[in-house]
């Protein structure tokens, strides 16, 4: 399968603007860039090898239906949660379809690139998957194949690893503030080095070796004292996490 040489980027938010900067550095010519604020129809896509839909997930199907694409072209969305059904309109016009989902959080207005992230890849054919995997590598990412069947589970894992961590951290901040009377900002600063230090260990060790705390020591007395002190609405979460930590505890040699 020949490598992709030309691209169109539709949408210029957090991911779209990163693509507009990084695609030329990866050796692709961006022949068309479009945003809805132009008030115009999507641009002509003749000669474009790959059309990247960098719009919110719920806008992908409708935008795809407006595209003039055909055989020889590849239309891809960037959404981890969406399957390829959302691109059926392009498929019916003869284009191949796919998804390239960067496993990294992007924020509007911040200069960010794709280097070092994994990328979930799906495609309507082996050729589409190969081309998107190659594109991911050229952008500095590690491609991981995630077909439609595994997509929801793959995306759930990504949400647990990102939003799930943030939600858990915010509950730790709530408990810390209750215990110390600190402001939100002070509690966040006090706990953040602890969190980052624990996560940093995961770069080089599996979770079982990175774990600290009473569960890993089998210290049931401390766990019982935590349960007594915690607000009632945090108990369910604490118990679920303690159970997960106990599952990680290695059997005694």
Binding site for ligand NAP (CB under 6 A): 11-16, 35-37, 54-57, 59, 63, 77-79, 101-102, 105-106, 108
In the bound complex, which residue of the shown chain has the CB atom lying closest to ligand NAP?
13
Phi/psi for 79 (5° steps) reads -95, 130
Characterize 177-193 residue by residue with b for buried, 16 or more Cβ atoms within 10 angstroms of its Cβ, and e for exposed: beeeebeeeebbeebee
Cα separation, 171 vs 188, whole angstroms: 11
Which two three-digit tokens encode residue 20?
Answer: 């507009």
- Closest to ligand NAP by CB, 57 or 171: 57
- Closest to ligand NAP by CB, 105 or 179: 105
- Closest to ligand NAP by CB, 1 or 162: 162
Do residues 99 and 120 touch, judged by C-beta distance below 8 A? yes
Report which DSSP code applies to 72: T
| Least distance (Å) between residue 65 CB and ligand NAP | 11
Parallel, antiparallel, or unpaired for β 118-123 and 96-102? antiparallel
- Closest to ligand NAP by CB, 16 or 98: 16
| Least distance (Å) between residue 60 CB and ligand NAP | 6
Parallel, antiparallel, or unpaired for β 50-53 and 29-34? unpaired
| Least distance (Å) between residue 203 CB and ligand NAP | 21
Q: What are the respective helix, strand and coil percentages of the chain, to the nearest 5?
A: 55, 15, 35
| Least distance (Å) between residue 228 CB and ligand NAP | 39
Cα separation, 112 vs 122, whole angstroms: 23
Cα separation, 2 vs 116, whole angstroms: 24
- Closest to ligand NAP by CB, 109 or 181: 109
- Closest to ligand NAP by CB, 80 or 211: 80
| Least distance (Å) between residue 147 CB and ligand NAP | 18
Helix/strand/coil for 54: coil
| Least distance (Å) between residue 105 CB and ligand NAP | 4
């Amino acid at each position: 399968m020949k490598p992709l040489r030309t691209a169109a980027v539709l949408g210029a938010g957090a991911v779209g603007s990163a693509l507009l900067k990084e695609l030329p550095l990866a050796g692709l010519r961006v022949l068309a860039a479009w945003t809805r604020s132009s008030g115009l129809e999507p641009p002509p896509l003749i000669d474009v090898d790959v059309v990247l839909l960098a719009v919110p997930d719920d806008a992908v199907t409708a935008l795809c239906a407006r595209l003039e694409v055909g055989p020889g072209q590849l239309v891809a969305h960037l959404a981890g949660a969406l399957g390829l059904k959302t691109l059926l309109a392009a498929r019916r016009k003869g284009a191949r379809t796919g998804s390239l989902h960067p496993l990294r959080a992007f924020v509007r207005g911040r200069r960010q690139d794709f280097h070092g992230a994994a990328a979930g890849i799906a495609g309507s054919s082996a050729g589409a998957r190969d081309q998107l995997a190659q594109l991911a590598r050229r952008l500095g990412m590690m491609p991981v194949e995630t077909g439609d069947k595994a997509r929801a589970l793959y995306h759930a894992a990504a949400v647990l690893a990102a939003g799930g961590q943030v939600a858990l951290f915010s509950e730790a901040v709530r408990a810390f503030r209750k215990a110390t009377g600190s402001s939100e900002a002070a509690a966040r600063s006090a706990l953040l080095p602890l969190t980052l230090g624990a996560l940093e260990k995961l770069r080089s060790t599996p979770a079982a070796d990175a774990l600290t705390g009473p569960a890993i020591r089998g210290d049931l007395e401390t766990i019982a004292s935590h349960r007594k002190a915690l607000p009632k609405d945090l108990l369910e979460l604490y118990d679920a996490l303690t159970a997960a930590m106990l599952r990680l505890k290695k059997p005694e040699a």
